[in-house]
Amino acid sequence: MFNNYNKNIKKAYDAISDAENIVIGVGSGLSAAGGLNYGSQEFFKEHYPQYARLGYKTIGDIMGKFWMNIDKENACKYWGFWSHHINEIRYKTPATEPYLNLYKLVKDKNYYIISTNVDYQLEKAGFSQDKIFEPQGQYSQFQCIIPCSNEVYYNEKYIKSMVKNKVDDYTISSDDIPYCPNCGEFLIQNLRCDNRFVEEPNYKNYNNYVEFIKDSLDKNTVLLELGVGYNTPTIIRFPFEQYSYRYLNMTLIRMNLGDARIPSEINKRISIDNDLNKSLKDIVDLI
């Protein structure tokens, strides 16, 4: 097993080194490998102690209670959680090791990234926003709940004010509830959840991503998939499989802790089922 792991690490390094183009697909597993694990009870106790005291075990548990269900009665507690969460994940947490290693690995290559994450880790690690397509939204953006327009609003000043002026551990001041400057309705997070999602600003790089894919169809191309499972497989996982099956010049490298199997019909495939942080570090160490 260990020998197979080392062989696959070397194969992945060689494929990436030789590639003309690299299409990188990033899922939540890459952030989890850096410590931002929404299913971790330890992370939750350390960073969300007030909610742990209420009996919640993980970020996922408490998210379910406050998932886009804001109203006049719960608005202060709704933003009590979300201001804490966005501040912790988006604004307080620096670039984590897996993202920094990914940047070291590909910074001098011709690449484009598609990511389903909303935590800004790629940008913090040094990747240019011009080379990232993030269709699921961003923690740093608000939108109108209706929505009345395709506008999004950078939210750092809102979040910092909410956190600073909290009434208690769970409740923001009513003065800090964010409202749409156009229609006066609530602002909410700009995250893909239902048909209210303001998609257009998050698709500004869509055409560039598509053009990069087209340019890669006849080149020696690596599809580097990192931490992608089955939450939204139609965005990265399934398309990467289809590309590598149809185009024999494409090599699919799937790296994940679990869910790393690649269909045998794909000829050029490298599967690495291990801790992503360790795997990326081991590849970078070969540079």
Residue 224 structure tokens: 């580097």
The pLDDT value recorded for residue 157 is: 98
Query: Is the CA virtual torsion 174, 176, 179, 182 positive or negative?
Result: positive
With H, G, I as helix, E, B as strand and everything else as coil, classify residue 205.
Answer: coil
Coarse DSSP helix, strand, coil percentages of the chain, rounded to the nearest 5 percent = 45, 15, 40
- Averaged in consecutive runs of 10 residues, what is the pLDDT profile of the chain (287 residues)? 87 98 99 97 98 96 90 97 98 99 98 99 98 98 98 99 98 99 98 95 98 98 98 97 98 97 97 98 97
Instruction: Establish how many alpha carbons lie within 13 A of residue 62's alpha carbon, considering only the half-sphere containing its beta carbon.
Output: 27
Distance of CA 234 to the CA centre of its chain: 15
The model's pTM is 0.96
Residues 29/256, Cβ–Cβ less than 8 Å: yes
The pLDDT value recorded for residue 64 is: 87
Query: Is the CA virtual torsion 216, 220, 226, 232 positive or negative?
Result: positive
The pLDDT value recorded for residue 89 is: 98
Crossing angle (nearest 10°) for helices 156-164 and 75-86: 110
Q: What residues does each domain of the chain span?
A: 1-36+95-134+205-287, 37-92+138-200
- Cis ω for the linkage preceding 178 (within 30 of 0): no
Q: Which CATH number fits domain 1-36+95-134+205-287: 3.90.1170.50, 1.20.210.10, 3.90.226.10, 3.40.50.1220?
A: 3.40.50.1220
**Which stretches within 217-249 are classed as H helix?**
237-246
Phi and psi for 256 in degrees, rounded to 5? -170, 155
